[in-house]
Structure 1
Amino acid sequence: MVDAHQTFVIVGGGLAGAKAAETLRAEGFTGRVILICDERDHPYERPPLSKGYLLGKEERDSVFVHEPAFYAQARIELHLGQPAVHLDPAARTVRLGDGTLIAYDKLLLATGAEPRRLDVPGTGLAGVHHLRRLAHAERLRGVLASLGRENGHLVIAGAGWIGLEVAAAARSYGAEVTIIEPEPTPLHGILGPELGALFTDLHAEHGVRFHFGARLTEIVGQDGMVVSVRTDDGEEHPAHDVLAAIGAAPRTALAEQAGLDVVDRADGGGIAVDAALRTSDPFIHAAGDVAAADHPLLDTRLRVEHWANALNGGPAAARAMLGQDISYDRVPYFFSDQYDLGMEYSGYAPPGSYDQVVCRGDVGKREFIAFWLREGRVLAGMNVNVWDVAGDVQQLIRSGTPLDPEKLTDPTVPLTSLLP
């Protein structure tokens, strides 16, 4: 039983942390709630940073999870611009960068992830960018507008979701764009060769140049500014700015220092948690990008770096901290908007896990649903410019029922009729 004398501390001021704090109050917790944020901005959502805000379609204030007044009204104590630098599970204390020591009864680690850095010569030049924080997006938004005005050239290392969304934004401003990607298609590790080519064609139609099968090995500068990049196949590409979009690494340093169980990077990294999002310490939970959870539905340990996981995982962890019986089994979900293509992806189908990819609808018109199958069971589904079906796709995944691929691909057969 929790009471007013307890203190629950949340380390991490992103969506997961903010929603966890909100949930503690919504569930009736009357003790202290302390939210520690290493950024000076109030907690905000990250999708707009590579979508609406970067495109100039959304204002800065639209990215925040709550109005600033919410935290005082909900009696949530905010420590903005204060990183947590030391965690002592035995004493149940967290020390902040300014030396403040905070004691806790329960702790939630929602420390998120940070962009992976390019390990090549030239990364210290002006014009080399990452995109993870609001300050990054503010800077990049101005850069893209300037490149568009001056017919400048942006080189993007990596054809994942961030790389592709920034490419679409850059082209909307009129900038020239080249994407360097070691795999043969964009999103190769997520969509496989079957659907990755769809995004090659989409971006090529909008003037993006791809250089597949190569890695960026050097950023060349002159007078401290970027002038080109070189790749491991001997090619050189003109550039005024470079974006490193080669993935994100979970921020596990605090957990590792405290002796909590973490997952090897080769296996995806992150803080190891059970289905209740509880770490190897019973008084510490983890949620969001940093949590590698035992997934009850998928029967695997999985770390998900997407908005929906933070949105739902933070509240699930908060309820578990309150002693509720939680089994976090949400179907992984993410979405993307690029030019006139909108898509939603549900499920988990890594390379080698499926034996068939089938589609219903018109792939050529980019209005379809793709399904990744194993022995007729739906592992994942992606709806492209087809809406209000993600829930049905997730139900098919949950059912685990073998389906007739012909019925699955027949647009005249309602997806709901295939559910058991």
Structure 2
Amino acid sequence: MKFIHAADIHLDSPLTGLSAYADAPVEMLRTATRDAFSNLVTEAIEQAVDFMVIAGDLYDGTWKDHNTGIYFCKEMGRLKKAGIPVYLLYGNHDAESEMTKKLQLPDNVFAFDSRKPSTFRLDNLKVALHGRSFKEKETLENLVTGYPAPVPGMFNIGVLHTALEGNAAHASYAPCSLDELHAKGYHYWALGHVHEHQIWEGASTVVFPGNLQGRHIRETGPRGAVKVTADGQGIQDIQRLFVDVLRWACLDVDVTECKMLSEVVSMIGKALDELVESSPSTIPIAVRVTVTGKTAAHGDLFGLESQLRAEVLALAVAMGAERLWIEKVRVATSAADEGKALRARADALSDLQDLLQAAESDADFLKSLQDELLGLVNKAPLELQTSVPYFKAIRAGELVDLVREVRPGLLSHLAKVE
């Protein structure tokens, strides 16, 4: 017996972080979650699985565009022709969705009740699936306690949308513990809500398949579902199925040995080459490049950050726009000598270093600096208001960290210019 366990599909949820580029892959960004789901349906048909389980967040919140639901019905029609039923549990995003409340699903799709736990029995496979959908988004009760006892002589699967314990990065919907899941006596727990793939063995096998398609830079690496194979003795194999159509990656490049901007660009180019070579040739990569290290090139990077970004974008285009996209270029370097060389010079730059260091504890200077910067902050576009981390500190008058961070880069850059 084989089945696919998927979750957190978030149909038609947009991919964020690339849309600002003039030559961004707009169509791919718009249809990525659909394309990944179509890939999953194709896998189910080609591998002739017995059924599919979707453990919540099929849709993406309060959207009322029924084209999303119509697309889902079309894909379910493909599974129906192949004789594959689908067992669907609604999660917190589905509870918000108009499609969940109104759209009639094909007759090979069986949705778990939201009022109480329900059980679907597949007598020909000796499988029992137990689950309870979310009725409200803010479902904060422990649903597991109400799930029924396992059906004797059946392979029992619990389907649940939950934050589980210890997942602080996700809203604590339907909280429960691993011990509670193991104690229920089911063979397999098909979980959803947490977007990272995780698996626990024990009295039960407990699995988060992860989301089907990474949607931003915080969801890096391959994404997809799992295929579970079982027999009368229990679970025999759990295999990940990667169905994503675009992957996100964070690339840290240590430029400690570099002395100038051109060397930094060259090192980033090599790192990008290695990333592309090690990735599947059919899947584009969206990359955040972070430049790190104590380096003599820090002054160049401080003063020419926009040029560095342009250079990295040019590298990506040269490698092929269909293979590589740059989400962001971040500079997180520091000066190689931390100001020691400047102090030894005893000139204007040395004096400036002393002044900037003293400014960190000069209340009048910090207040004057805040007044100057507020004029810029208040005129900044809306997208910058949330993306620039120091804006909040400037408004609050907390500028010591800002001055402390700018000082070595500014001095290093001035020394380079000189």
Query: Which TM-score applies when normalising by structure 2?
Result: 0.30
Query: Which TM-score applies when normalising by structure 1?
Result: 0.29
Determine which structure has more spread, i.e. the larger CA radius of gyration.
2
* Larger relative contact order, structure 1 or 2 (CA cutoff 8 Å, min sep 6): 1
**Which structure features the higher share of helix residues?**
2
**Which structure features the higher share of strand residues?**
1
